[in-house]
Structure 1
Amino acid sequence: MGLVKLAAAALAAGATFFAFSARADGNLNLICSADVVICEQMEGAFEKKTGISVNMVRLSSGETYAKIRAEARNPKTDIWWAGTGDPHLQAASEGLTLEYKSPMLGELHEWAVKQAESAGYRTVGVYAGALGWGYNTEIFKQKNLKEPKCWADLLDPSFKGEVQIANPNSSGTAYTALATLVQIMGEAEAFDYLKKLNANVSQYTKSGSAPVKAAARGETAIGIVFMHDAVAQTVEGFPVKSVAPCEGTGYEIGSMSIIKGTKNLDNAKKWYDWALSADVQSSMKEAKSFQLPSNKTAKVPEEAPKFEDIKLIDYDFKTYGDPAKRKELLERWDREIGAAAN
């Protein structure tokens, strides 16, 4: 996808401004699958810009997919913003989301447009972020732990009870980790790895970013998360160091989708176009959000993980966003990992 070149180009670019329409009326029912701080910032900025009243709920991407699927006959949501792309692609393949070709597509990176094309324009990329982990340097010093630089290092017995990762049924972050390991190792070896890792995991959290927040607070030593979530804790002043695994790692294309059957289609389109604009994406740093924005001219935060420094795998979004494959992997995780963790 050329993410390295695209990231470098974005870093050199300045912000452009999208001429948005005059203030409007009405409501918008939004599910936000990013961190609650950026969700609230986006909600407030859109209301101020448009006069549209936003009813926002924060849910992990796996939870959102399940909710949208359950409410398919009588949708209660208009738009779904952010969260890993795999559940968005799954919703698109099941006809749960609406085709929409935004006039903003021409301003987006190739990887964001390809995400839209692969889904028949039923979703679009809004940001990208690489998978890794963050660890608490003070805990490591106190317990004389060695920095884990590779996936294999996380199996070290010294990390027993020191690792947190989310549950892939509720968290898009954790599903990306599961799919990443399968692509790196092969399915059988990946599940063997996860069984061994389970001995070191103290908790499978509901939210994808929760593990590194726990590490920041000193409740665990290591949180497996998207690296930008670890960076956010470092910027807040916590003793957290980010790591990109040496064997390679997957990445997310955080996405956005309009729900089929929305009662507020015009307002959903207004949000969609607005959220793809350079000025809106440039402001995400204000909420300590450090992903790579999808708009080519949006400002990339200096603190954001540099894709050129990370060994990225050629993540197969089509295969691992497929409903059948996702169901198969999650059921196996429940049987072999989740059951053993309870």
Structure 2
Amino acid sequence: MMINRFTLLAATAMALLPATTIAQAKELVLYCTVGEEWCRAQSEAFTRDTGINVLMTRKSSGETYAQIKAEEGQPRGDVWWGGTGDPHLQAAQEGLTEEYRSPLLAELQPWAVSQAETSGYRTVGIYAGALGFGYNSTMVTENAPACWKDLLDARYKDDIQVANPNSSGTSYTMLATLVQLMGEDEAFAYLKELHANINQYTKSGSAPIRAAATGESAIGIVFMHDAVTQTVEGAPIVTVAPCEGTGYEVGSMSLIKGGPNPEEAKIWYDWALSAKAQEVGATAKSFQVPSNMKAATPPQAPKLSEIKLIDYDFAKYGSSEVRNALLARWDAEIGALPK
């Protein structure tokens, strides 16, 4: 019988623990910031492979960063898994997460390793996905939007949803993308004009495309793989990569500094970087591009090579100074606007 690599890694790590530790500490507190279904599937797969029980909480990226910041010095979580890389980088800069160099780094895509290097190995890339939007083809039947500028069309008044960038990593990626595409002042001018067409700023980054799938809105601004998920599930959603270019996320993973179960956290970290663990996402209808080069990329995943991607500056837009300043300006100039 063959033993796969991540099971061997987990078994080796557990064998190095004192017997009393193994008997007393076989749980992991996971802060998960991908979709609920994927969070559950990943947690269950880890428990099957290692015997370690997972206590999982699912929140958006911004909410999870805020929770970890609030718990600084008395952390309750062990691992922050998933979500856009910018808040992970901010947490790393602020010393909220631990340095760790997994033996599986050599198996990862260059963009995943770059994320680790940028953070001083306090976070690492686990998947990638491009930003875009999706529209309901039963509601938008002609002159379909193909570019960011098209979303300003008056016919979409109160018919677009996007998340609040304070709670949503998806929406912060949009904010940082527009700033890099247009310049900061021009980006905020665009967002003010777009505001007339927004019917709701949601808490979750994927909620806007679910609203478009049900006909609550015509358009949802999201990561493209989230739009693809709705199409796969039978909704009349068409996925768009904006013609001007777009940003992308490096979904990340971090060990929370001083977490209650540090050894179990490292076992999760190594396991989650393995090819087999990264293939769990597709079974939960999550179609990101995995970071392990040996992992199969779901055929439904948007092909990054075919999308006009900007040279997204993760170090700059994941820094505390820049991220906090952009969010404060969004609150003052966009979030404060009447609806």
Tell me the equivalent position of 1:74: 74
1:205 is aligned to 2:194: no
User: Which position in structure 2 is the counterpart of 1:340?
Assistant: 337
How many Å apart are 1:41 and its aligned residue?
0.2
The residue that corresponds to 2:125 in the other structure is 125
The TM-score with structure 1 as length reference comes to 0.93
1:20 positional shift? 3.7
Distance (whole Å) between structure 2 residues aligned to residue 183 and residue 259 of structure 1: 30
Name the CA distance, whole Å, in 2 between partners of 1:58 and 1:282: 20
1:17 Cα deviation after fit: 4.9
- Could you give the per-residue CA deviations for residues 70-95 of structure 1, whole angstroms, max 9, x where no partner exists? 10010011000000000000000000
Matching residue's letter, 1:159: Y
Q: Give the corresponding residue for 1:221.
A: 218
Q: Distance in 1 between matches of 2:130 and 2:31?
A: 23
Tell me if the contact between 2:171 and 2:205 (Cα under 8 Å) persists in the aligned partners: yes
3-state DSSP of counterpart to 2:131: strand
Q: State the TM-score, normalized to the length of structure 2.
A: 0.94
Q: Distance in 1 between matches of 2:5 and 2:244?
A: 39
Residue identity matched to 1:33 = T
1:283 to partner: Cα distance = 2.5
Name the count of aligned residue pairs.
324
Aligned counterparts of 1:135 and 1:217: Cα–Cα separation in 2: 11
In 2, distance between residues paired with 1:80 and 1:137? Answer: 36
Shift of 1:294: 0.2
1:311 alignment partner, SS class: coil
Identity between Structure 1 and Structure 2 (%): 62
* Pairs within 5 Å for 1:164-313: 164-313=161-310
What amino acid is the match of 2:238?
A: K
User: SS of the residue aligned with 2:187?
Assistant: helix
| One-letter identity of the residue aligned with 2:105 | L
Structure 1 CA distance, aligned partners of 2:81 and 2:286? 14
Q: Distance in 2 between matches of 1:166 and 1:184?
A: 19
Residue 149 of structure 2 is matched in structure 1 by 152
Structure 1 unmatched runs, 5+: 1-15
In structure 2, C-alpha distance between the alignment counterparts of 1:328 and 1:28, rounded to whole Å: 34
Shift of 1:341: 4.2
Q: Structure 1: which 4+ aligned runs deviate by more than 3 Å?
A: 16-20, 22-25
Counterpart amino acid of residue 135 in structure 2: Y
Contact 1:77 1:259 in 2 (8 A): yes
CA distance in 2 between counterparts of 1:66 and 1:126 reads 21
3-state SS of 2:151 partner: helix
Q: d(CA) in 2 for partners of 1:76 and 1:43?
A: 17
1:284 Cα shift?
Answer: 1.4
Contact 1:31 1:59 in 2 (8 A): yes
Instruction: Establish whether residue 330 from structure 1 lines up as the match of residue 319 from structure 2.
Output: no
Distance 1:95 1:306 in 2: 34
CA distance in 1, matches of 2:143, 2:267: 49
Confirm or deny: 8 A CA contact 1:231 1:303 kept in the other structure: yes
> Are the equivalent residues in 2 in contact too, given 1:88–1:256 (CA < 8 A)?
yes
Aligned-partner Cα distance in 2 for 1:52–1:332: 43
> What does the per-residue CA deviation read over 1:262-312, in whole Å, with 9 as the maximum and x for residues that have no partner?
110000001000000001112211000101100001000111001121000
SS for the counterpart of 1:340 is coil
Unmatched 5+ stretches in structure 2: 15-21
1:108 partner amino acid: L
> Which residue of structure 1 lines up, in the alignment, with residue 114 of structure 2?
114
Distance 1:297 1:73 in 2: 37
Task: Verify the 8 A CA contact 1:17 1:278 in the aligned structure 2.
Answer: no
Question: Which stretch has the larger CA shift, 275-284 or 175-184?
Answer: 275-284
The SS at the match of 2:279 is helix
Matched with 1:3 is none
